[in-house]
Amino acid sequence: MSDPLNLKDADVPRLPRGVRLAPDRVRGGTVLLAPEKAVRLDDIGVAILGRVDGAASFGDVVSGLARDYNAPEDQIRTDVQKFLTSLRGRIYLELA
């Protein structure tokens, strides 16, 4: 089912002010720091957000990851869409 917060291929996602990736130097790994929250990211989350730079479109992020992981774009698109849509719902992601 379509969600109004789903990204279109041409949409350019970015982290809003006050949301950023940071290394967790005590526990290891990477966390997404946001207002009053810290979200632990798995490797896939880090890979996705590593491509969210305020310039790349959603389509660019998907095709880049598909290349990196040598995986079908449709599969990647579903996973990236789900992750980024959930971040938009929490206002941890906006469109440039």
Partner 1 sequence: MTTPPPIAMLAELTHRCPLSCPYCSNSLELQDKAGEMTTDQWADVFRQAADLGVLQLHLSGGEPASRPDLVDLVTAAHEAGLYTNLITSGVGLTPRRLDALEAAGMDHVQLSLQGTNAALADRIGGYKGGFNRKMLIAQEIKARGIPLTLNAVMHRQNLDDLDRTIEMAVELGARRLEVACVQFHGWALKNRAQLLPTREQTEMVKRTVAAARTRLRGVMAFDFVPPDYYADYPKACMGGWGSAGLNVIPDGTVLPCHAAESIPYLTFEKVTERSLRDIWYDSAAFNAYRGTDWMPDPCATCERKEVDFGGCRCQAMTLAGNAGATDPVCVKSPDHDKVVALLEEVDAADAEADFTYRVPAG
- Site for partner 1, rule CB under 8 A: 4-5, 16-19, 22, 24-27, 31, 33, 35-38, 88-91
5 and 89 in contact (C-beta within 8 Å)? Answer: yes
Q: How far is CA 50 from CA 1, 2, 4, 78, 94, in A?
A: 27, 25, 24, 18, 15
Closest CB to partner 1 among residues 72, 89: 89
Q: Shortest approach of partner 1 to residue 62 CB, angstroms?
A: 21
Smallest distance from the beta carbon of 68 to partner 1, in angstroms?
28
